[in-house]
Amino acid sequence: YALQGSRWRVKNLTYKISKYPKRLKRSDVDAEIARAFAVWSEDTDLTFTRKAAGPVHIEIKFVESEHGDGDAFDGQGGTLAHAFFPVFGGDAHFDDAELWTIGSPRGTNLFQVAAHEFGHSLGLSHSDQSSALMAPFYRGFDPVFRLDEDDKAAIQSLYGRKTNQYTPTNVYPPSTQRPAFTPPKTPLDDTICKDSKVDTMFTSAQGDTYAFKGDKYYKLTTDSVEEGYPQLISKGWPGLPSNIDAAFTYKNGKTYFFKGTQYWRYQGRQMDGVYPKEISEGFTGIPDHLDAAMVWGGNGKIYFFKGSKFWRFDPAKRPPVKASYPKPISNWEGVPNNLDAALKYTNGYTYFFKGDKYYRFHDARFAVDSAVPPFPRPTAHWWFGCKNTPSSTAVGDH
């Protein structure tokens, strides 16, 4: 999946259909559009409430050829519809020259195309997974539609997982004004810009990414630090000490923190039982005073790093660490020893952090990725949104 870079800051969104298609009944269109929005509510806390008039987050129109946004439609076939990312307003336009149909293999299925366009309205770009709803090509009518895992991961990386809290949809949010887009800001205190070495980084079960440094933590956006951070770790995770060595979130939704010879387990922000416990008890075969830990996207196993070595831990196996471990970190081509952090990020890539630099790892090639600018790259610029800091470690690139 791919993210455009903006998202709504509220999860209770409103919409209105200001221009209906000429060939379908309004009530049928209302129902299909509501169903298309519901696709994105299933796995997140997003809610979509229709309004007859007035300001809304997403405005929907069925128009033909040139319709005022400079991106004219082209008659039947070709471009079916387009939508704007949140930073550009979030509206969705459908080419009314198409033969929009409901529940039929004839023509173009309104529900599927609408659900796709609303993905853009929420901040998703096109995916290169052909089975994804967010793939750019219309695949014809799909009588048994189901949201692809790729799409679920995408929307949850922006709005978090569903927390099953009850959020009545007929309640209008206190303000229905469009949230203004605010450009990324440098962190309130820019110590992290002067010294961007971190203790650890991890992504929570809710899809939020955090950087820990000393007694403080930073919540990250897609390209910088969220407003209002850093905050104290002791406030964010009561009972958790400062100067954490390593952390990761496992597929059971729990986050594990490691420091010295001990570890803590949290469910969200709450300690999940009596901790700390000894690493030797809960993670047999894993050393203490770790450098980094992560769940690798390549196989879902837990990897621990210390000095020039790494261990693979499989909770389902006995023993959980095979006799062939530890192995040299040099197996991970291009990854240095003595890491600070390892992370499987929300875009599915694996990242390693050391000092003020970071490396993106290409899982399929099992080597540090090659890109422009090359890796390692300065963490300050790319993760903390620091200004006036280099975006590349390439010599002379200032």
Partner 1 sequence: AANSAPVSTTTQAEIYLSQFGYLPASARNPASSGLHDQKTWVSAIQEFQSFAGLNITGELDEETMKLMSLPRCGVRDRVGTADSRSKR
Which residues, in sequence order, are CB contacts of 263 under 8 Å at separation 6+?
256, 257, 275, 276, 277, 278, 279, 282, 283
99-128 binders of partner 1 (CB under 8 A): 99, 107-108, 113, 116-117, 120, 125-126, 128
Work out how close the CB of 12 gets to partner 1 at its nearest, in angstroms, rounded to a whole number.
25
223 contributes a contact to partner 1 by CB under 8 A = yes
| Region of 133 on the Ramachandran plot (φ > 0 left; ψ -120 to 50 alpha; else beta) | alpha
- Cβ proximity to partner 1, 332 vs 383, nearer residue: 383
136 contributes a contact to partner 1 by CB under 8 A = yes
Tokens of 265: 């387990």
Of 130, 167, 252, 388, the residue at the interface with partner 1 (CB under 8 A) is: 130
Work out how close the CB of 116 gets to partner 1 at its nearest, in angstroms, rounded to a whole number.
6
Note if the bond before 230 is cis, omega within 30 degrees.
yes
- Calculate the CA dihedral of residues 170, 176, 180, 184 and round it to 10 degrees: -30
Binding mask 237-256 for partner 1 (x = CB under 8 A): --------------------
14 contributes a contact to partner 1 by CB under 8 A = no
Of 313, 351, 352, 361, the residue at the interface with partner 1 (CB under 8 A) is: 351
Stretch of 130-138, 189-197, 281-289, 315-323 lying at the interface with partner 1 (CB under 8 A): 130-138
Note if the bond before 55 is cis, omega within 30 degrees.
no
Of 3, 188, 271, 367, the residue at the interface with partner 1 (CB under 8 A) is: 3
Sort strands 309-313 and 327-328 into parallel, antiparallel or unpaired: antiparallel
Distance from the Cα of residue 1 to its chain's centroid: 10
- Cβ proximity to partner 1, 130 vs 388, nearer residue: 130
Tokens of 108: 């173009």
Of 30, 66, 74, 278, the residue at the interface with partner 1 (CB under 8 A) is: 74
Marked catalytic residue, from 59, 117, 278, 333: 117
Work out how close the CB of 108 gets to partner 1 at its nearest, in angstroms, rounded to a whole number.
5
Told to judge if 117 belongs to the known catalytic residues of this protein, a careful annotator would answer yes
394 contributes a contact to partner 1 by CB under 8 A = no
- Cβ proximity to partner 1, 116 vs 265, nearer residue: 116
Which residues, in sequence order, are CB contacts of 279 under 8 Å at separation 6+?
258, 261, 262, 263, 286, 287, 288, 290
Size of the site for partner 1 (CB under 8 A): 45
- Cβ proximity to partner 1, 54 vs 183, nearer residue: 183
Q: Angle 168-173-174 (CA atoms, 0-180°, nearest 5)? A: 135
| Region of 123 on the Ramachandran plot (φ > 0 left; ψ -120 to 50 alpha; else beta) | left
What gap in Å lies between CA 376 and CA 368, rounded to an integer?
9
Stretch of 3-11, 41-49, 274-282, 322-330 lying at the interface with partner 1 (CB under 8 A): 3-11
In contact, 43 and 84? CB cutoff 8 Å: no
Work out how close the CB of 252 gets to partner 1 at its nearest, in angstroms, rounded to a whole number.
26
The Cα-based distances of 24 to 15, 29, 104, 106, 210 in angstroms read 19, 7, 13, 14, 47
Q: 3-class DSSP state for residue 280?
A: helix
- Cβ proximity to partner 1, 304 vs 382, nearer residue: 382
Work out how close the CB of 84 gets to partner 1 at its nearest, in angstroms, rounded to a whole number.
8
- Cβ proximity to partner 1, 242 vs 347, nearer residue: 347
Which spans of this chain sit near partner 1 (rule: CB under 8 A)? Answer: 2-5, 71, 73-83, 85, 98-99, 107-108, 113, 116-117, 120, 125-126, 128, 130, 136-138, 222-223, 345, 347, 349, 351, 358, 360, 381-383, 385, 391
Residues identified as active-site: 117
